[in-house]
Structure 1
Amino acid sequence: MSLTRRDCLGWLGASAGAGLLGCQPAPSEVTGGFTGPDPARGHRWRDAALAQPAAQRRADVLVLGGGVSGLAAARALTMAGIDDFALLELEPEAGGNARAGRLGGLACPLGAHYLPVPSDDAPELQGWLEQIGLRQRVAGRWVYDERHLCHSPQERLFWNGGWQDGLLPLDGVAASTLEQYRRLSRLIDEARRAQRYAMPAVRLPVTDAVRALWAQSFAQWLDSHGLNDPQLRWYLDYACRDDYGAGAARVSAWAGIHYFASRHGFPAPGEEGEAEPLLTWPEGNAWLVQRLAAGLGERLRAGQGVLRVRPGREGVTVDSLSMADGRITRWQARAVVVALPVFIARRVIDPLPPVVATRAEGLPLAPWAVVNLLLQEAPKDRGGAHPGWDNVTYGSAGLGYVDASHQSLQRVAGPRVWTWYLPLGDEPQARQALLDLPWTHWRDRALAELSQPHPDLPALVREVAVTRYGHAMAMPAPGSLYEGPWHDDRLAFAHADWAGYSVFEEAFTRGHLAGQHIARRLRG
């Protein structure tokens, strides 16, 4: 479609203060559209739920869902010597929220785009990273392949008209702001001394203190400690939206504290060490899921939507719908790993196990939009910190952009892809908006925000790809703590929804444990 000056004014008018930036000439032609998961594909089960099967198959184990947890469960089954299994995935390829695309021949993420270097609390994940060559022991210490660690500079913030290093507003802030930063740092340290915080949280004990923190919002907890500084609260909202899809008012106090306490704490100004090491690739976490899926071969059956799951005395019956030809296959399995989001599991399992009903009750889900922009070259940069991998604008609704070319070992001018992330858990009717609004709406929102630090950006855009996630991730809302079991008779549940929040470490570990549980059950 053609971009006009009216389009450009629309982008800039959509963002506070952006009207002062002017508008650069737009390119004559920009292609674009939606990519990634197709909402219509996920809704086809409603029309096919009563149809009869056209074929029948058997397997010892079925894994339902090919996201991170399902792929990790399949790996665990293989490690346990169970090869007679099939993994059913609705989309044309596995990966869930961690898939990738290409624009102009350049790889770019369609969703999750990094993995913090895991701690010893995630031994299963550490072991797999060693297996695929990302880490090895050198002179008695574990080291990670530097080619895959995020290159410096890692992150920067557009604040007060220029770029600063790091995402916590520091340049020119008031003494009272700095004091609140230091107060929060002390509170996070106290929280870490009082109880364990770890990533993943699957093995952490649930104490009365944990329950109390899950019962209130992070915003309420901050208010109770007098932490009301606008710069601090913006940053904490950003952190919650980054991991949970919604701000501090909608996530639990436990989740807000866990974001920092399970990682590097909250260093006070002047006490910052090196940036948290993380692994990333031009295609984001698709680099990881592609390696998880690589050895599955024909056991990975993509384009198969799960219609019905019926546990019985002798095993489990599963009906799946082929997205290619509409044919239904009836599977008979001895056991099943349900690595589906809970809202889907609730619809397809009959009878509905109490554990699923309990987990699904009151578990909110955050929609997301991800916009990839192919640029003919990098826009002009403002003063201050140099371009980083993660580039965030203060006060924005989005999470900023990551530059897919940042991990390249060759710094050359020319085309590049920027990926802009917009969590929508705080916006009313956001899921419906993703279904109803054209791709140009999300393009316009991205350009409105990114034009603040880069006024010449619209003139450099050549192609746009918008990815929609109507049910992207569980939000750890107050009251959504789950303490029950994660398996029921012949079913083991492995999705990150059971944790109440969605990160790679949690999904991988829960998938691995579910696969191990099924393997032990079959052998016992």
Structure 2
Amino acid sequence: MQRRSLLAAAPLLALAGCDDEGARHLAGSYAGIDMARGHALRERLAQGLPLVPDVHLRTGVLVAGAGVAGLAAARALRSAGRQDVAVLELEGSAGGNSRAGRVQGLPCPLGAHYLPVPGDGAPEVQDLLEELGLRQRIAGRWQYGGADGRHLVHSPQERLHLHGHWQEGLLPQEGVGSATLAQYRRFAARVRELSREAPFSMPTCKLWKQNQPLVGVHQRLDAMVFDEWLAREGLRDPYLRWYLDYCCRDDYGAGSARVSAWAGIHYFASRHGFAAPGEDAGEPQGVLTWPEGNGWLTERLAAPLRERGQLHTGRSVLRIAEGRHGVEVDALDHASGRVERWQAARCVVALPLFIAARVVGSSAPPFLMEAARRLQWAPWLVANIRLDRPLADVPGAAPAWDNVLYADPVPGGLGYVDAGHQRLAGGALLASPTVLTYYQALGDVADARRRLQQQDWTHWAEPILASLAAAHPDLPERATRVQLTRYGHAMAIPTPGLQAFLSQIGLEPSSIKRRLLSNGERTDIAPVPRSARLLFAHADWSGYSVFEEAFTRGHAAGLAAAA
């Protein structure tokens, strides 16, 4: 069926969107990330060109990078009473891989598209959600999603295209045998057992203890790839293994043959567990999302910075130099072509580790260079497909927010979310245009980074549209535009041994032990990798990229910079 679908969908790029003569044309482009800017920075640094500043600027604390960690650092500085803050960002808008965009007027995510309701291990994130009105105590219980719950994912939430039709949920269930169900129960039992042996929490960094290695069960899991652990456990069922591989690619950008067993178990044990069909899954975990994905959150974090003139976009950080009396940062303003030289007392380096190592250069602390050497990063592609109306379906479960194709023929394909799912249902809205946001994790795809840079947008769009046509036969008539966003280094991959290494960075004694949050609660401060005047904050320091890790690390670095 896949071959027939591919042949049937091959004319998609020429046959979607009518002109006056009846021919159809699908428009498309790359958008969202300016890869040329990043490569220009790399080439300039490699050439060792002298930096002659055109303008000198001064601030108290400089934040390099306006992804989730950088925005969280700026918020923490503001909460600590620091107003002398400047934030530099390479792209034209803040948010990193949690930014939003539009396709022909419709909002959509350009990267991360949801935030699970945070547990008690993430009080900083809970505090943010209270500030934004997304967490409220009603009748003695915490409720999420706003007073009317509109920011929680509407039902139906997930479905899987399997055996030619849609089933509810993403774990393959329909048409599987008793042996498969037994393997599901076996894996669920092992997740529960490992959770009892040692804590798994999100964010991870708060579990790390000074001068202490990872606990034994974490060490053993961190030492091997997930596939190896599954084989040792006798967990070989192809449906289970497909699902676990999908989960790894979804959260880590690479599959179960590459990520550590610790990461594979952590995916479930740190949040919602794993329930086999027929088992009590407990209270359902809520998921917060918006038509623009996590861009809804980063826009609200960035707004106060814009209002105060503290956010400076379109800047490539070229050099960060730490001196005895302050920090000197050179940045290229792409709009004017001028080099700005910033002087600050401290700098929060909220950049991916491979960039931080380049711009800090020869004066970089050894732990930064070693971490940058050890980490590997997964490329990603995000395809936003505008439809003139919702698609027809093959039989089965009703259209959902998250839609996944079993054994998707697209390498690294993760399915799509419907960016219009959160609109209030009814009448004209159900027949109005929408955007499908398709995700492709390329951590296991050979030469993906080079191909992202060099291939035309049609190289990626054709197989995506062909794959979706198997589940949506009317896709050729409904699609009007495809907008692709490329990430050469979207996220760190939690490979074996990485947690053991990272867990000992930034754990030196600090004068800040506990800090009052804006909601009046106190919390332990996460470890901050740092030198005398540089404080490092990015999800890379946790070895994998999720909102809770990035925000918690940024918050801690901001408080340390304010002290």
- The 2-side partners of 1:62 and 1:24 are apart by 51
User: CA deviation digits over 1:330-376, x for unaligned, max 9?
Assistant: 11111110000000001000312112112112200000000011111
- The 1-side partners of 2:220 and 2:403 are apart by 35
Question: Which residue of 187, 191, 212 maps to 2:190?
Answer: 187
In structure 2, what is the equivalent of residue 341 of structure 1?
Answer: 352
Question: Which residue of 219, 224, 236 maps to 2:227?
Answer: 219
Q: Identify which range, 270-279 or 171-180, moves more after superposition.
A: 270-279
Paired residues for 1:97-176 under 5 Å: 97-144=97-144, 145=146, 146-176=149-179
Q: Identify which range, 457-466 or 21-30, moves more after superposition.
A: 21-30
In structure 2, what is the equivalent of residue 62 of structure 1?
Answer: 62
Indicate whether 1:510 and 2:497 are aligned. no
Q: 1:159 to 1:386 in 2, by over 3 A?
A: same
What's the TM-score once normalised by structure 2's chain length? Answer: 0.88
In structure 2, what is the equivalent of residue 470 of structure 1?
Answer: 488
Question: Helix, strand or coil: the match of 2:342?
Answer: strand
In structure 2, what is the equivalent of residue 96 of structure 1?
Answer: 96
Q: Do 2:393 and 2:473's aligned partners in 1 also have CA atoms closer than 8 Å?
A: no
In the alignment, residue 395 of structure 1 is paired with which amino acid?
A: A
Q: Identify which range, 498-507 or 345-354, moves more after superposition.
A: 345-354
Q: Do 2:197 and 2:217's aligned partners in 1 also have CA atoms closer than 8 Å?
A: no
Indicate whether 1:36 and 2:32 are aligned. yes
Indicate whether 1:290 and 2:299 are aligned. yes
Question: Which residue of 420, 432, 451 maps to 1:414?
Answer: 432
In structure 2, what is the equivalent of residue 8 of structure 1?
Answer: none
- The 2-side partners of 1:121 and 1:203 are apart by 8
In structure 2, what is the equivalent of residue 313 of structure 1?
Answer: 324
Indicate whether 1:18 and 2:13 are aligned. no
- The 2-side partners of 1:47 and 1:357 are apart by 20
Q: Identify which range, 18-27 or 398-407, moves more after superposition.
A: 18-27
Question: Helix, strand or coil: the match of 1:361?
Answer: helix
Indicate whether 1:458 and 2:445 are aligned. no
Q: Identify which range, 304-313 or 455-464, moves more after superposition.
A: 455-464
Q: Do 1:21 and 1:455's aligned partners in 2 also have CA atoms closer than 8 Å?
A: no
Question: Which residue of 463, 488, 498 maps to 1:480?
Answer: 498
What's the TM-score once normalised by structure 1's chain length? Answer: 0.94
Q: Identify which range, 435-444 or 205-214, moves more after superposition.
A: 205-214
Deviation at 1:275, TM superposition (A): 4.2
- The 2-side partners of 1:208 and 1:193 are apart by 13
Question: Which residue of 444, 451, 456 maps to 1:426?
Answer: 444
Question: Which residue of 382, 389, 414 maps to 1:370?
Answer: 382
User: CA deviation digits over 1:94-124, x for unaligned, max 9?
Assistant: 0000111111211011110000000111001
In structure 1, what is the equivalent of residue 81 of structure 2?
Answer: 81
Question: Helix, strand or coil: the match of 2:413?
Answer: coil
Question: Helix, strand or coil: the match of 1:294?
Answer: helix
Question: Which residue of 285, 288, 310 maps to 1:276?
Answer: 285
In structure 1, what is the equivalent of residue 364 of structure 2?
Answer: 352
Deviation at 1:459, TM superposition (A): 2.4
Deviation at 1:75, TM superposition (A): 0.3
In structure 1, what is the equivalent of residue 416 of structure 2?
Answer: 401
In the alignment, residue 384 of structure 1 is paired with which amino acid?
A: G
Deviation at 1:164, TM superposition (A): 0.6
For structure 2, the residue ranges without an aligned partner over 5 or more in a row are 17-23, 209-213, 507-528
Indicate whether 1:519 and 2:562 are aligned. yes
Please report the RMSD computed on the Cα atoms of aligned residues, expressed in angstroms. Answer: 1.5
- The 2-side partners of 1:464 and 1:23 are apart by 15
In structure 1, what is the equivalent of residue 516 of structure 2?
Answer: none
- The 2-side partners of 1:16 and 1:87 are apart by 50
- The 1-side partners of 2:333 and 2:9 are apart by 51
In structure 1, what is the equivalent of residue 263 of structure 2?
Answer: 255
Q: Do 2:117 and 2:287's aligned partners in 1 also have CA atoms closer than 8 Å?
A: yes
Q: Do 2:194 and 2:217's aligned partners in 1 also have CA atoms closer than 8 Å?
A: no
Q: Do 1:24 and 1:456's aligned partners in 2 also have CA atoms closer than 8 Å?
A: no
Q: 1:106 to 1:226 in 2, by over 3 A?
A: same
State the identity %.
55
Question: Helix, strand or coil: the match of 2:159?
Answer: strand
Question: Which residue of 460, 464, 477 maps to 1:442?
Answer: 460
Q: Identify which range, 100-109 or 494-503, moves more after superposition.
A: 100-109
User: CA deviation digits over 1:225-245, x for unaligned, max 9?
Assistant: 010100000000000000000
- The 2-side partners of 1:17 and 1:426 are apart by 26
In structure 2, what is the equivalent of residue 9 of structure 1?
Answer: none
Q: Identify which range, 69-78 or 451-460, moves more after superposition.
A: 451-460
Q: Do 1:390 and 1:400's aligned partners in 2 also have CA atoms closer than 8 Å?
A: yes
Q: Do 2:167 and 2:397's aligned partners in 1 also have CA atoms closer than 8 Å?
A: yes
Deviation at 1:255, TM superposition (A): 0.4
Q: Do 2:137 and 2:143's aligned partners in 1 also have CA atoms closer than 8 Å?
A: yes
Question: Helix, strand or coil: the match of 2:498?
Answer: coil
Q: Identify which range, 463-472 or 476-485, moves more after superposition.
A: 476-485
Q: Do 1:375 and 1:463's aligned partners in 2 also have CA atoms closer than 8 Å?
A: yes
Question: Helix, strand or coil: the match of 2:439?
Answer: strand
- The 2-side partners of 1:36 and 1:19 are apart by 28
In structure 2, what is the equivalent of residue 238 of structure 1?
Answer: 246
Q: 1:38 to 1:18 in 2, by over 3 A?
A: same
- The 2-side partners of 1:161 and 1:20 are apart by 17
Residue correspondences, number? 507
Q: Identify which range, 238-247 or 135-144, moves more after superposition.
A: 135-144
- The 2-side partners of 1:317 and 1:92 are apart by 23
- The 1-side partners of 2:11 and 2:532 are apart by 62
In structure 1, what is the equivalent of residue 44 of structure 2?
Answer: 47
Q: Identify which range, 274-283 or 22-31, moves more after superposition.
A: 22-31
Question: Helix, strand or coil: the match of 1:203?
Answer: helix
Q: Identify which range, 346-355 or 239-248, moves more after superposition.
A: 346-355
Q: Do 1:24 and 1:455's aligned partners in 2 also have CA atoms closer than 8 Å?
A: no
Q: Do 1:64 and 1:87's aligned partners in 2 also have CA atoms closer than 8 Å?
A: yes
Q: Identify which range, 447-456 or 303-312, moves more after superposition.
A: 447-456
Deviation at 1:414, TM superposition (A): 2.6
In structure 2, what is the equivalent of residue 3 of structure 1?
Answer: none
In the alignment, residue 357 of structure 2 is paired with which amino acid?
A: R
- The 2-side partners of 1:20 and 1:362 are apart by 43
In the alignment, residue 155 of structure 1 is paired with which amino acid?
A: E
For structure 1, the residue ranges without an aligned partner over 5 or more in a row are 1-11
User: CA deviation digits over 1:467-524, x for unaligned, max 9?
Assistant: 000000000011222122211111111100000000001100000011111112xxxx
User: CA deviation digits over 1:408-459, x for unaligned, max 9?
Assistant: 0033203111010000001111100100110111111210221121122122
Deviation at 1:276, TM superposition (A): 2.5
User: CA deviation digits over 1:6-49, x for unaligned, max 9?
Assistant: xxxxxx9xx55635867787221222100011110112223375
Q: Do 2:382 and 2:485's aligned partners in 1 also have CA atoms closer than 8 Å?
A: yes
Q: Do 1:366 and 1:425's aligned partners in 2 also have CA atoms closer than 8 Å?
A: yes
